[in-house]
Amino acid sequence: MVRDTFEAQREWMVQSQLQARGIRDPKVLEAFRRVPRHAFVDKSLRRYAYQDHPLGIGGGQTISQPYIVALMSEALSLEGCERVLEVGTGSGYQTAILAELTQEVYTVERIPSLRRQAEKTLRELGYENIRFVDGDGSEGYAPGAPYEGIVVTAAARRLPDALDSQLAEGGRLIIPIGGALMQTLYRFEKTRGALKRKDLGGVRFVPLVDT
């Protein structure tokens, strides 16, 4: 019975929050129907899991609003065979969406306790195409580079040079850039070694902390 309730809530989320706001990629929509967002939040918050807002996950971090996760995922334009880097594992929800959409995901998290919890949840859900890394996400993860897609789930003051260098030719990089209160979400695409930027709108993320 509980499972059916959550399935109905996921479908409501997809229709009212994603499709209604212009998310069209069928692979992205199907990933959101499959991934149980309630599994990535504390049990006391599960009744809010499919509502249209972020939720706290501890350590001053949040699980992002579903629409923002969908917008960032769709902007990567994944075909299914790419290697993707995620900067900021957090709850692991965005990680799961990426794992549904592509072949291999590297995810970097600076807070060990969050990484451990996210890894536990994702392993329990059966994901085997994710590699977990403890570290400073602003430095990316050079051993896995180059990446056809990079998504940053925290706000940077500027695009980190390491992420530019680790993005493959033709790859897409999604990152919020700005100050503490408001940022702009950008999509960068690398063409002939140069980055072409597209504005995806205003967002609000926790800051990207570098060392």
CATH of the domain at 60: 3.40.50.150
Tens digit of each residue's pLDDT (9 = 90 or more) over 148-178: 999 999 999 999 999 999 999 999 999 999 9
Higher-confidence position of 156 and 5: 156
pLDDT digits (tens, 9 = 90+) for 23-80: 999 999 999 999 999 999 999 999 999 999 999 998 778 899 999 999 999 999 999 9
Nearest Cα residue to 31 out of 89, 1, 76? 76
Is 13 within the bounds of a domain?
A: yes
Residue 171 lies in a domain: yes
The residue range of the domain holding 119 is: 2-203
- State pTM to two decimals: 0.94
State the pLDDT at residue 207. Answer: 84
pLDDT score recorded for residue 4: 55
Instruction: Look up 73 and say whether it is catalytic.
Output: no
- What is d(CA 62, CA 49) in angstroms, rounded to the nearest whole number? 12
> Is residue 211 situated within a structural domain?
no
Tell me the pLDDT tens digit for each residue of 182-194.
Answer: 899 999 999 999 9
Contacts of 117 (CB under 8 A, 6+ apart): 91, 92
**Exactly one of 16, 64, 113, 138 is catalytic; which is it?**
64
Give DSSP secondary structure letters for 17-44.
IIGGGT---HHHHHHHHHS-GGGGS-GG
209 within a domain of the structure (yes/no): no
| CA atoms of 167 and 189, how far apart (whole Å) | 9
Give me the number of domains the chain comprises.
Answer: 1
- pLDDT value, residue 59: 78
Query: The tokens of 110 are what?
Result: 């600076």
Under 8 Å CB-to-CB from 116, ≥6 apart: which residues?
Answer: none
Q: Is residue 208 part of a domain?
A: no
- Report which DSSP code applies to 14: I
